[in-house]
């Protein structure tokens, strides 16, 4: 067990997690500007991108890169500087560091070394999209980017099929069509909202059923990063005992019935479809893709 009193005096530095605007520069907070100005160093996902932000607000603090490809070697250097009393502000290109962006590993390392971690509130695309979607906000699951391969994408969506929570995803414009199609295939024709260009001049929300959204996608030149907000399942969750198979993939589920009950693949697929409340055709296709 560890306790952190964020603003007690310490010989070590502080790791500040600083959200930056996701599009509109006016969304920066006074506190964020103060930390960026006073920090010993700013560790940025892309120094070129962050330099534009700092130039706009006339901040001259030194920059150093910290991103997915150098996080191990650079992370060790930054940790040493924190140990020696320097305070470092960590920023990503936009939004909250650590949410679908670098930052988690540094927070974890700092905590392990009893270095204070102070997280500033600020801009986040997923929460803006959720609130603006009109879908329930009382319970939600943020996933981030789904896997690129269709098989892996469908497998992840299958895990979420029975969740009653609103689902949040990020997606790039050139993969949006495939991802929405996969959501439709696995989750059915639920209500869905697309949010793009959030906080910018061309901010847009597209709300409707998934089938309506798919038609819109076909007729639209897709630009900008998207947040996808999907209605949760309306089905009452089954008991844990009834969901004994929840940790199994479709392939493993079918194979279980074939082995344990000596069923043919056709009979096993039928039972799996009943268990998972899926069309037999979908179970059949998934089973034979994964074989």
Q: How do residues 191-235 score in pLDDT, each as one tens digit?
A: 999 999 999 999 999 999 999 999 999 999 998 899 999 999 986
Average pLDDT over residues 109-118: 94
Residue 95 DSSP code: B
Give me 162's structure tokens: 């029975």
Given a cut of 90, whether residue 8 has pLDDT beyond it is no
Among 48-62, 65-79, 146-160, 227-241, where is mean pLDDT lowest? 227-241
**Which residues, 6+ apart, have CB-to-CB distance to 237 below 8 Å?**
162, 164
Q: Which fold has domain 15-119?
A: Cobalt-precorrin-4 Transmethylase; domain 1 (3.40.1010)
pLDDT of res. 258? 81
Where are the domains positioned within the chain? 15-119, 125-230, 250-290
Given a cut of 80, whether residue 64 has pLDDT beyond it is yes
Q: Report CA 121 to chain centroid distance, whole Å.
A: 17
Average pLDDT over residues 250-268: 85
Q: Which fold has domain 125-230?
A: 3.30.950
* Residues 44 and 63: beta-carbon distance below 8 Å: yes
Average pLDDT over residues 117-122: 96
Given a cut of 80, whether residue 39 has pLDDT beyond it is yes
Given a cut of 60, whether residue 236 has pLDDT beyond it is no
Given a cut of 80, whether residue 287 has pLDDT beyond it is no
Given a cut of 80, whether residue 20 has pLDDT beyond it is yes
- What does the mean pLDDT of the chain come to? 91
Query: What does pTM read for this prediction?
Result: 0.78
Average pLDDT over residues 39-65: 96
pLDDT of res. 69? 86
Given a cut of 80, whether residue 242 has pLDDT beyond it is no
Q: In whole angstroms, what is the distance from residue 96 CA to residue 55 CA?
A: 20
Q: Is the dihedral of CA 168, 209, 165, 136 positive or negative?
A: positive
pLDDT band for 256, please (50, 70, 90 cuts): confident
Helices and strands (H and E) in the chain: how many: 11, 10
Given a cut of 60, whether residue 71 has pLDDT beyond it is yes
For 197, other C-beta atoms within 10 Å of its C-beta total 15
Phi, psi of 181 (to 5 degrees): -60, -40
């Amino acid at each position: 067990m560890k306790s952190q009193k964020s603003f007690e005096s310490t010989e070590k530095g502080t790791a500040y997690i600083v959200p930056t605007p996701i599009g509109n520069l006016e969304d920066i907070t006074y506190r964020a500007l103060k930390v960026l100005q006073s920090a010993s160093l700013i560790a940025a996902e892309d120094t070129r991108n962050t330099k534009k932000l700092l130039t706009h607000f006339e901040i001259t603090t030194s920059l150093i890169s910290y991103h997915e490809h150098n996080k191990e070697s650079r992370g060790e250097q930054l940790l040493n500087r924190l140990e020696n009393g320097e305070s470092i502000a960590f920023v990503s290109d936009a939004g909250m560091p650590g949410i679908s962006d670098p930052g988690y590993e540094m927070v974890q390392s700092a905590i392990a070394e009893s270095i204070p971690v102070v997280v500033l509130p600020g801009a986040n695309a997923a929460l803006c999209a959720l609130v603006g979607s009109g879908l329930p906000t009382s319970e939600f699951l943020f996933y981030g980017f789904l896997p690129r391969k269709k098989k892996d994408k469908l497998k992840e969506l299958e895990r979420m099929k029975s969740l009653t929570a609103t689902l949040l995803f990020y997606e790039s414009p050139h993969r949006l069509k495939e991802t929405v199609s996969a959501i439709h295939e696995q989750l059915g024709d639920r209500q869905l909202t697309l949010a793009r260009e959030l906080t910018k001049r061309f901010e847009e929300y597209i709300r409707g059923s998934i089938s309506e959204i798919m038609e819109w996608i076909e007729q639209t030149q897709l630009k900008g990063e998207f947040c996808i907000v999907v209605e949760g399942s309306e089905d009452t969750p089954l008991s844990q005992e009834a969901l004994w198979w929840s940790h199994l993939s479709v392939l493993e589920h079918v194979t279980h019935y074939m082995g344990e009950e000596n069923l043919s693949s056709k009979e096993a697929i039928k039972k799996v479809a009943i268990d998972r409340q899926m069309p037999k055709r979908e179970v059949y296709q998934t089973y034979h893709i994964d074989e």
